[in-house]
Structure 1
Amino acid sequence: MSEEVVCAFIEKNHKIILIWRRSYESGGLESLLSIRKGRGKKARIANLETLREDILSLHSNCSGGRIKCQNIVDMVAQKYNVIYSTSGMYHLLHRLVFSWITSRSQHPKRDPQAQEDFKKNF
């Protein structure tokens, strides 16, 4: 039976059939039966409380402005050796009950006294 006929019969892509055939040829029936549906589970961070503290320290160490999701993704990849997409990180931040609605950031070189003087003399 040709590969095209098999693809049409089981309604799968030829790439899937190729993966199944190579798995069978390399490890037999047991290797073929060990293939699971889906892409598998992502690596998870073991201690989410430590991650929460790391995110808060990243935010407090930021001088002016805000941290972005990509900053957190980079920190997690470097410290925990776990790769997240930004959308995956947003889901994780939601589970950690982080809210990114913040007040307007303040420039690190601002002068509060000069601002008050400006308000009084305007």
Structure 2
Amino acid sequence: MRRYCGRGEFAELPSDDGELWMFVPHVRDLLDEARSCVARFDSGRIMYATRYAFGGAGLAEVTTFRVPQLATGPAFFSGRLVEALAAERGVTFAEVWPVRVDRSLKGLP
């Protein structure tokens, strides 16, 4: 594995068709469980979320991340990254939290 700009790692995967890489984003504790709509197992662990809310230190700096509460869950991408990749063929994203941002977080538009 090799680092990618401090936001995750690229892992080279075995392939007979040439180079194949997978991006693995860093895990950041940014899920606001109180404002998210989540279903839980009896143990209290989160099973899944139907609505996401994020917050916390570092949210303004991230472009891609995963959350520890959803270990096998999705990767999340900032609006900045989605806009940067919008012109690429074959790249699509599903909006899972509002584009409207908490303007109290420094560094966000």
Task: Specify which structure has the higher proportion of strand.
Answer: 2
TM range (shorter): under 0.3
TM-score normalised by structure 2 residue count = 0.21
TM-score normalised by structure 1 residue count = 0.20
Task: Specify which structure has the higher proportion of helix.
Answer: 1
Q: Which structure has the greater CA radius of gyration? A: 1
